[in-house]
Amino acid sequence: MKRTISVVALLLAMCLMLAGCNKNKDNSVPDGYQLASSDAADYLFYVPENWIVDSSTLYTSAYVSAGDASSVSVTAYGLERESTTVADWWKGYQSQFTSAFSDYEAVSEKEIKMGGVDGMQYTYTATMADVQYNFVCSAVIRGNYVYYMLYTSTPTYFENHLQELDGIISNFNFK
């Protein structure tokens, strides 16, 4: 009987230990992911390990492959006043976006958490140079900055990476 209790206690301890492995509380790289953000960034941005990190741009980004250019990027943008809401920022972003892209169409919006901060996620479509794109913009405000993660894809690949996007968002952390 004593041996059975010990085995059950050991199995329970192992289950609890394994259940915490994906939580990334200590800023370690989550299983199946790679770090895409630079040391200079004040956030940790992880992407699936089979994605290609693009360090040639001014912002943090990664894409799936040469054949599937679906991508995710993170940008931190300084705000003029700390009391700005994500909704206020979105109105300005949306205005600038629609001046460059045609056929803008809002699809959905919902509340999210990114890095433990409440924010919003906007899904929309637009056309540029006769190519249609699907977008998911997830944004939070922390301090005097808006942090937004932009997933961009063509309609052909858009649905294929939404689950990965959820993982990328859930593993995003602030330092």
Model confidence at 20: pLDDT above 90: no
Q: How many CB atoms lie within 10 A of CB 60?
A: 23
Domain layout of the chain by residue ranges:
28-174
Model confidence at 165: pLDDT above 60: yes
Q: Residue 64's pLDDT is what? A: 97
Give percent of the chain above pLDDT 90: 66
pLDDT band at residue 26 using 50, 70 and 90 as cut-offs: low
Q: Residue 57's pLDDT is what? A: 65
Q: Does residue 21 or residue 75 have the better pLDDT?
A: 75
Q: Residue 13's pLDDT is what? A: 33
Q: Does CATH number 3.40.1000.10 belong to domain 28-174?
A: yes
Q: Residue 90's pLDDT is what? A: 94
What end-to-end distance do the CA atoms of the chain give, in Å?
47
Please compute the mean of the pLDDT values over residues 145-164 and round it to a whole number: 97
β-pairing, 102-114 vs 117-128, is antiparallel
Q: Residue 83's pLDDT is what? A: 61
| pLDDT, the chain, mean | 84
E-assigned strands of the chain?
A: 33-35, 43-44, 46-48, 52-54, 60-63, 71-78, 102-114, 117-128, 131-142, 145-153, 173-174
For residue range 27-42, list pLDDT tens digits in order: 699 999 999 998 889 9
For residue range 74-124, list pLDDT tens digits in order: 999 898 876 689 999 999 899 888 888 889 999 999 999 999 999 999 999
